[in-house]
Structure 1
Amino acid sequence: MKKVLLIATGGTIASAYTQDGLAPRIAAGELLQYVEGYEVFCQVEVVQPFSLDSTNICPGHWLELAALIEGHYNDYDGFVICHGTDTMAFTAAALSYLVQNSRKPIIVTGAQKPIDLPVTDARTNLLDSLHFAAEDRAHGVNIVFGGSVIAGTRAKKERSKSYAAFSSINYPSVAVIRDGRIVFYIDDKDRVSGPVRFFHELNEKVLLLKLMPGMDGRVLNLLFPYYDGVIIEAFGVGGLPEYGSMPFYPEIRRWSDAGKLVMMATQVTHEGSDMEVYQVGKAIKEEFHLMETFDMTLEATVTKVMWILGQTKEPGEFRRLFYETVNHDILLTEV
């Protein structure tokens, strides 16, 4: 029988109503009391490193979770992390970079409603996650939610209240789960080569900056002392505006000359960036040799940049690592 470690971190799944609104209150050991049938296929042990609304999760918690998995990696066949939904996609992406080449499944799950309510998605999501964590063909970091298994780097929360809160962006779901039956769309465990790798550094000095019409490019000047890298969410397939007295170009040059990272992404969820299409993108990409995110999610982009800058700031090595696929995070690449 498979042995699974349930890692409880708070979130809606473990919340209860208080005078000030929902807040994590249900202890880790209590979660399993609401789930029936898992004893048939796995043995579960529980640990609770912290109990937080996921709004309060930050990179330090990602490192803590990765270290916890590393410390128990040889003791369990799989791991299930109960987590709040609001930053779940960031956590799953971060863990994809902090724990690589894992032949064991690392599942992140949660719920849109607390597990102790009469009508809730929590019990199904948790039971599905335990099923997947005990599945021989499962591996790596995935989100299990609403009957879908989504690669940790491809998930995005697209609905704030519905049970089907998460979508797989620019990539198929890994599998679906219906009544305990797992149907794989991507069955690639045999492609995992080499030993599992754990990483222990993230650089938190990364900013995601969303463009809006009329934005003053000099805002980058104010950010310069505080960040080692900025990811600019451009419009459409990607580009930067020129507003005469409010230019972006000089600030991009300043960041680049100082050895700081400037990267281009898109605000559009589906289909990705392609800066070569329009003059507003092609010219600045060629002049500054800017990198772009192509089909990556913003959550994966932010956490991957934090991970790489935690390892190196050398431009050539950064580019190589960024365009190297990790847990299905990028399909369109360039070197």
Structure 2
Amino acid sequence: MPFAPGAIPRSESYDAFVASVPDSRASPVKSLARARDASASATTGDDERPRVMLLHCGGTLGMGVESFELREADVVPRAGGKYRPLGASKYLLDVQEVIPELRDFARLDVEVLMNKDSSEMDGKDWVTLARALHERREEYSAFVVAHGTDTMAYAASALSLMLVGFGKPIVLTGSQLPLSFARSDARQNLIDALTCCCASRSCGGTVDFAEVAICFGGKLLRGNRASKTSATVYAAFSSPSYPALARLGVGVDWNHARLLRPAPEYAPQFELNSNVIRVPVIPGLDIEKAYGDLYGRGVRGIILEAFGVGNFPQSLVPWLTSQASRGLQIYLSTQCQSGELRPELYAAGLGALAVGAKSGPVMTSECAVVKMMLHIANPELELHVSYSGEAGDVDFCDIK
């Protein structure tokens, strides 16, 4: 698929942007939206819709084909397809023209923070996004983040740990097909995400939802518990270790008991060290040949993905001992998607713990990597402590 790498900073509300567009470009859809807004204003007086910011980071959702004029001169050939920058102004027009219902839920402002293929995003981009949310925290009731699906779970995990106690909904969403495609899932995902953000208004009651989540394919999932599990189906994300926070169909079925409890205080952190890798254990692994001196090559933390509850060949312990003595941070995880970690039950696990490896409740691989990045830069952030509901056992006999 043609993605659009590169950043295009732009900050502009929809109303301000539309005001700058000549009347000759007005469309029937835009006219309908304006008429509905004018009617609502006349009948209700003060606008009680919550203010919501939609931050666009890139990905499939904002890609354009039919909805944008494409000049061959704008196309850049690259491996796998043809790419071109996605204009911020065009996106601002499209998202609220094509989905005018968004304005029924909220006074929506749109900002194109960046416009990147999510596979190109890294820790610096997560910091940029976290700071943008932090700076706008007092202005808006909730936030929707349009993000590419490939690394959405990493970004959601990062935001949940960098903005502990943020106290307002931050919902990431995207799509498997661009908004401009006839069978796109972008429209429903955006409407669902905004529905969840405005839960107290759109769901007919009070919903204590104020955490980082992913809304995709009719489900609202805790962001740091989610993983992308399909490249093609619309329900692309799963949460094997934690139940869905809500399911969206004809109505919205909230799992109130599983919503994150408020943190005692807001404690943002904007520093991380990206020199972290995952080390999955495989049968017969020659760890020296496969990885060698990781610390000497600049790696500062690893997620050692063991078997089952924390078992792995004892032949790895000398390598772990050597690397740990040089300063490598080690988090002992599992290749299982759910369950508990008990590395102390095995000699190899005890050996790893003895040289300083940390372990704790099972986290997703995405969350474990991000948490290690933050831990290296902020040692007071403990790897085995759950800060935003990212870890901890769940009784699956007592969930929806």
Identity percentage over the alignment? Answer: 29
TM-score normalised to structure 1 length: 0.88
Q: CA deviation at 1:288?
A: 2.7
Equivalent residue for 1:3? Answer: 51
Q: CA deviation at 1:193?
A: 3.9
Instruction: Supply the distance in 2 between the matched residues of 1:22 and 1:126 (Cα, whole angstroms).
Output: 24
Equivalent residue for 1:162? Answer: 233
Equivalent residue for 2:326? Answer: 258
Contact 2:175-2:189 at 8 Å conserved across structures: yes
Equivalent residue for 1:230? Answer: 302
Equivalent residue for 1:46? Answer: 110
Give yes or no for the alignment of 1:95 onto 2:156: no
Who wins on radius of gyration, i.e. which is larger? 2
Q: Relative to total residues, which structure has the larger strand share, 1 or 2?
A: 1
Corresponding letter in the other structure for 2:161: Y
Equivalent residue for 1:178? Answer: 249
Secondary structure of the corresponding residue to residue 116 of structure 1: coil
Contact 1:78-1:104 at 8 Å conserved across structures: yes
Give yes or no for the alignment of 1:199 onto 2:199: no
Q: CA deviation at 1:252?
A: 1.0
Instruction: Supply the distance in 2 between the matched residues of 1:23 and 1:268 (Cα, whole angstroms).
Output: 40
Task: List alignment gaps of at least 5 residues for structure 1.
Answer: none
Instruction: Supply the distance in 1 between the matched residues of 2:259 and 2:238 (Cα, whole angstroms).
Output: 22
Instruction: Supply the distance in 2 between the matched residues of 1:43 and 1:7 (Cα, whole angstroms).
Output: 14
Contact 1:234-1:267 at 8 Å conserved across structures: yes
Instruction: Supply the distance in 1 between the matched residues of 2:83 and 2:283 (Cα, whole angstroms).
Output: 36
Instruction: Supply the distance in 2 between the matched residues of 1:33 and 1:187 (Cα, whole angstroms).
Output: 37
Contact 2:359-2:384 at 8 Å conserved across structures: no
More displaced 10-residue stretch of structure 1: 192-201 or 113-122: 192-201
Alignment of 1:138-157 (within 5 A): 138-157=209-228
Q: CA deviation at 1:144?
A: 0.5
Q: CA deviation at 1:198?
A: 1.6
More displaced 10-residue stretch of structure 1: 271-280 or 52-61: 271-280
Contact 1:6-1:45 at 8 Å conserved across structures: yes
Equivalent residue for 1:213? Answer: 283
Corresponding letter in the other structure for 1:183: D
Contact 2:163-2:269 at 8 Å conserved across structures: yes
Equivalent residue for 1:302? Answer: 369
State which of 95, 105, 112 in structure 2 corresponds to 1:31: 95
Corresponding letter in the other structure for 2:124: G
Instruction: Supply the distance in 2 between the matched residues of 1:304 and 1:89 (Cα, whole angstroms).
Output: 13
Contact 1:293-1:301 at 8 Å conserved across structures: no
More displaced 10-residue stretch of structure 1: 218-227 or 87-96: 218-227
Instruction: Supply the distance in 2 between the matched residues of 1:86 and 1:253 (Cα, whole angstroms).
Output: 34
Runs of 4 or more consecutive aligned structure 1 residues displaced over 6 Å after TM superposition? none
Flag the 1:259–1:224 CA change in 2: closer, same or farther, 3 A. Answer: closer
Secondary structure of the corresponding residue to residue 240 of structure 1: coil
Flag the 1:251–1:143 CA change in 2: closer, same or farther, 3 A. Answer: same
Equivalent residue for 1:73? Answer: 137
Q: CA deviation at 1:21?
A: 5.1
Secondary structure of the corresponding residue to residue 209 of structure 1: strand
Flag the 1:192–1:248 CA change in 2: closer, same or farther, 3 A. Answer: same
Across the two proteins, how many residue pairs are aligned to each other? 321
Q: Relative to total residues, which structure has the larger helix share, 1 or 2?
A: 2
